Structure 1
Amino acid sequence: MRNRAALSRAGVAPDRSVTDAVADPRIHVSLQGLRSLEAASRAISFLPNQPARSALQGRHRSRIRGRGLDFEDLRDYLPGDDVRAIDWKVTARAGTPYVRVYTEERDRPTLIVVDQRMSMFYGTVHNTKAVTAAECAAIVAHR
């Protein structure tokens, strides 16, 4: 009996009385509740407010995409290619012009981690810290 209570507190084997009852949204989060926050995510933006060449720019990524920074491949020069992309060392060795091809960063894999330890299940009348952290993570993930 004592072992069952310890497993129930740890969340490994939930007690039937807890699962049968409707979970309080101020204490526990649900997938449906987190999905309902998608509309709230439209109100925030992660884009910088300053123009790209502003003196107050700071360390923000520009909205304008360039050639990219990751080297991908070398290929033969074709008419119309940018002359600045010619790899002069390879061209000198091969005797024909070669162009460096770069890839643009399109996706940035991001991992959003939320602390759900027992110390997070403390809070005010409105929410526990665990619920607030999960809701913030859901809004960021939707955005």
Structure 2
Amino acid sequence: MFLLDTNCWMQIARNRPQAGDVRQLLLGVPDSRLFASIYSVHSIGTILQGRGAVAGYAAFLAGLSIGSKVQVLSVPIDRLHVVEQACITHRLDFDDAYQYAVAELHDLKIVSLDADFDRTPRGRLEPLAALSHYQASRKQNP
């Protein structure tokens, strides 16, 4: 199962170069195996507002099934020490540490374009690598 980092969602929102790769992942993996963090949901809104495009925020989330088919996860208050520890141990910015903590607490693979995750034990997969990983797992367990 995969946790998509904010930068994956923003590829689509901003029609960035890897938007097609993210779309392929979203089409090739069942929604039940895809997750977003509440931090990403709020970050998307903040970024869109900063670009004067907040009017499309709710429609963007709904269009990608974020919060309906794509489950949104958070770090419980009593587990925020996991975020803190990820900041310190892996030298991650808070946003990356939050994503890392969500992945750690829910045993998810991180899908991100951010190389900072490469220095963590969980690592990361880029969108097409995540799709390949899913497809390979389907062949092993049909």
Q: TM-score, length-normalised on structure 2?
A: 0.21
Q: TM-score, length-normalised on structure 1?
A: 0.21
Q: Which has the larger radius of gyration?
A: 1
